[in-house]
Amino acid sequence: MNFWAMLFILTHVTGMTYEPEIGDYQIIDSPAEPEASFVLPVPYDTLMYIAPEGLILQPMDSLTLHVQIPEGESVVLKFNSSGISVVELPETLSTLAQQAIDVSPSWLQHALEDNFRRLGEYADTYALIILDADPQLRDEVAFQVAHIGAEILTDSIFDPELIVVNAELIYAYDDSLQYVELVEYPEYTTTRYKIVVDGDTIDYELPFPYYYYYIVHPELSDEIPRMDEYVYNRFWRDYLFNEADSGYPKLSEVLKHTKVLWEVTDTAQVYPGSSAPFDSTAPALVTVGRWVSYTLPELAWGNRPIQPNVIAHEHNGNCGEVQDLLQAAARTALIPVDAHFSIAEDHVWNAFYCYGWHEYQVDRGGGVVHLNDWRTAYDVDWGGSKQVSSVMAWRSDGLTETVTPWYSNACSLYVQVLDARGMPVDGARVLLYSEYYYGGYSISCWKFTNPLGMTAFAVGNLRNIYLQIRTPLGTYPDENTIMQIIYYGQTGGNYYKTLYLPYIVPFVRVVPAGAPTDTTNPYAVDIELTVPYKILHGYAWGRRNTGDANPIQHTYSEEEDGGTIDMYIFDSLGYEAYVEGGVAVAYYIGDNLPAETLSFTAPYESDWYIVLSNRSSLSTTYGVDLKVRLSSKSMLVEQVSNPKFNVRILTKGIAVEHRQPIALKLYDLTGRTVATREFTQPGHHLWQPNVSAGIYFVHVKQGDNLTTYKWVKLGR
C-alpha cells in the first residue's frame, strides 16, 4: 500500500465534498399501523339549481382567469346583481415579468410564472435579462431564470449576468467542437453528436429536455454558481475551457481534434491512463475524463473546494472534487452529465446520457476513465466490498431520484405521509438514513412527497434503513431521532410505510347548507373549471464555498400534467366564516376537483363568493383555468291557448281543458320540482297544488308538445 493511500485510511479523509448529516441518532422502531385508519367523510351530492324551461337567461357579466394558485393561497370572486368582481388573487406579476413570459418558449412559461412570483422585487431584473437576450439565446436564458432557485437568484454573491454569459459560451464552444453541434427547433434547442455504433459513425440527437437540465444549467449539485473574485472572476464554463496553469492541459486544446462523443457499447469500458492521453482518436468522454485526471494529480488536502475553478487551480481532490470537476468540464464540452451519490458509503461519481444514462468515473492522478462501468459504487453484488444503502442521482436544480438498481441488488420502499387527520402531506422531505461507513448514522438519500403524500425509493439490499420526515409543520419523530423502517432489506422486496404526523395541515372547515328559501330577483352563474397542470416543489442546500456556515435552501420546481383544486360557493355569512377560519356554510362544495362544469342559481339579491382554495397544500402550485358567466333570469310571456289544450292561470289554481292525456310539473324559482299532476281523462280540470304563495312555473306536456306558463299564487 502506498503512502498516500495509508494516510487516507489513517486520517479518515472523506471522499465526498458534500457534507451529509452524520451522528449518533436515537433509534426507534417504526410504530405499528393504527387499527383503524382515519376515514374521510362520505362524499355527498351537493344540491345544484338548474333553471327550468321557460326562463330566458340575459347575459350580465363574464370573467375568464388563467391563474396559478400557490400553496396556501386562494382565488376569490364575488358576484351579485351588479356583476362579477375579483376579491382575492395571488400576487400579480409586473408588466415586465408578464412580457418576459410571453416571449419565452411555451414549455417554460408556467415555471417562469412560478419563479417570478418567488423572486419578488428581483423579478423585473430577470425579466429584463430575458427581454434583452439575443433571440437565439432566449430559451437558454429563460430556462435558467425559471429553474435556478429564486433564493440563489436573489443571493448577494450571484451575478445575474452569469445567466447570459453561460448561454453565450455554449454557442461559442459549439463552433470549436467537432463531435457536437447545437440543433435549433422552433420551441427548443438540443445537441447532436457523432457516435460510433458497431464501427460506424452516426448521428445521435439528445432528447428534449436533457440539454437544458444537464448542459445549460449552471449548478452542479450543492454549490452556488459564481463568477466573482472567489472563482477568479470567471464562470466555470469560461475558466475551464480557456485557462490552465503552467504544466497542465487546457480543455479547449485537448478537445479541438476530437471527432466522436462515444464508442457505444453495452459492456463496461475502462480506459487506462497514457503517456499520450489526448490522442485525437479517443472519444470526447475519454478525453474530458483524462483532462480531469491529469488536472488533479494529488489526493485531497487543504480546504476541499466545491467550486470547479478553485478545484482545477488547486490540483488536488478525492472523489468529491473529481465529481464536481468532471461534471463541469463535461458540460463545458457540451456533454450531458449529472451527479450520483452513495452518501452513507462516502463515494460520489457521475453519469452521462446517450441512449439512456451510463456510469462515468475518473481516477485522479492520470488514472483510468470508467464508462458504463456499474461497478463504480463498489457494491458486493458487483464484486466490490460495500453493501450500498442507496445511490441517489442529483439533478442540478435539486430534484433527486434513487438509481440504486443500476449499481446493486435493491428493494423498493413506498412511503406515504399523512397528517393527524389522515390527510396527505405534500412537499414533506423524507430523509432515509443508514449506518455510516465510518461509524454512526448518515443520511443516505432523500425525496419529497407528491400531492397524495407519497414518494418511493429504491434502496440497497441487506441494509437497515431509517427514516426522518421534515415539513414546515415540524420534524418527525424529532431532529435527534430516526425511525427504523427496514430491517436487513431483501433483494426484490417491496416495503410499504404509512406515517401519521402529529400535526394538522391547514384546511378549510366547510359544511353544506340547505337550499336557500328566498326566491326573489334570481340570477344564474355558469362556471367552467379545469386544472390542467401542477407544479411540485422541493428544495436543496447550496453552499457558496467550502465550510459555508449559512448555506442557502433553494427551491426547485417540477411541472406535471393535471391537478385538483377545492371550490366553494358561499353567501356573505359563509364567506366571512371562511376568512376568519371558522366553520363555513357553503351552498356548493367541491373537494379535489380536476374539472367542473356547474350551473348555480343564486336565489336572492345578495353577495355571493366563489372560492378556489389551495390552503391545504404545503408546496404545490396548481394552474387553474376558470370561466364564470353571470345572467339574469327573465320569464317567458304566458301562453293561454293551444290547438290541443287550453290553460287558464288562476291565483288559486290552474285550469286545464284537454282531449289527450296531459302531465303538469310545477317548479319554483330555483328550478326544483315542487309538485306534479297527470290527467288521463279528457275534459276540464282544476289543479290546486299545495304550495306556499310565490312565483312558479308550470310545464304542461301533451305528447311531444311542451309549454311553460308563469303562475303567481297569492296566499293559500
Which residue did the predictor score with more confidence, 602 or 461? 461
Name residue, grid cell 453484488. Answer: 381
Task: Return mean pLDDT, the chain.
Answer: 89
CA distance 294 to 315: 9
Q: Is the pLDDT of residue 47 over 70?
A: no
- Is the alpha carbon torsion for 185, 187, 191, 194 positive or negative? negative
Q: In this structure, what are the phi and psi dihedrals at residue 606, rounded to the nearest 5 degrees?
A: -170, 175
Q: Indicate the DSSP class of residue 693.
A: S
CA distance 313 to 311: 5
The burial class, CB within 10 Å (0-12 / 13-18 / 19+), for 557 is buried
The least confident of 46-60, 239-253, 469-483, 631-645 is 46-60
**DSSP line for 581-598:** TSPEEESEEEEEESEEEE
Nearest to 377 by CA among 356, 408, 402: 408
Give the model confidence (pLDDT) of 383-421 as tens digits.
Answer: 999 999 999 999 999 999 999 999 999 999 999 999 999
Q: Is the pLDDT of residue 46 over 50?
A: no
Give the model confidence (pLDDT) of 327-347 as tens digits.
Answer: 999 999 999 999 999 999 999
The one-letter code for the residue type at 585 is: V
Average pLDDT of the residues in 569-589 = 93
Q: Which pLDDT score, from 0 to 100, does residue 670 have?
A: 65
C-alpha separations of 400 from 79, 240, 339, 539 in Å: 45, 27, 10, 10
Q: Is the pLDDT of residue 163 over 90?
A: yes
pLDDT above 70 covers a percentage of the chain that reads 90
pLDDT above 90 covers a percentage of the chain that reads 73
Average pLDDT of the residues in 484-489 = 96
Cα angle 271-273-274, degrees, rounded to a multiple of 5: 115
Contact in structure between 635 and 710 (CB atoms under 8 Å) = yes
Which residue did the predictor score with more confidence, 700 or 460? 460
CA distance 413 to 486: 9
Nearest to 157 by CA among 229, 73, 249: 229
Q: Return the number of other C-beta atoms located less than 10 Å from residue 348's C-beta.
A: 29
- Is the alpha carbon torsion for 186, 188, 189, 190 positive or negative? negative
Per-residue confidence band for 196, with pLDDT thresholds at 50, 70 and 90 = very high
Q: Which pLDDT score, from 0 to 100, does residue 57 have?
A: 62
Q: Is the pLDDT of residue 354 over 90?
A: yes
Average pLDDT of the residues in 154-171 = 97
Q: Is the pLDDT of residue 542 over 60?
A: yes
Q: Is the pLDDT of residue 641 over 50?
A: no
Q: Is the pLDDT of residue 683 over 70?
A: yes
Q: Is the pLDDT of residue 192 over 80?
A: yes
Give the model confidence (pLDDT) of 108-125 as tens digits.
Answer: 999 999 999 999 999 999
The three-state secondary structure class of 469 is: strand
**DSSP line for 529-585:** EEEEEEEEEEEEEEBSSTT-SS-EEEEEEEEEE---EEEEEEEHHHHHHHHHTSPEE
Between strands 357-362 and 369-371, the pairing is: antiparallel
The three-state secondary structure class of 13 is: coil
Q: Is the pLDDT of residue 66 over 50?
A: yes
Nearest to 333 by CA among 277, 366, 396, 288: 288
Q: Which pLDDT score, from 0 to 100, does residue 692 have?
A: 83
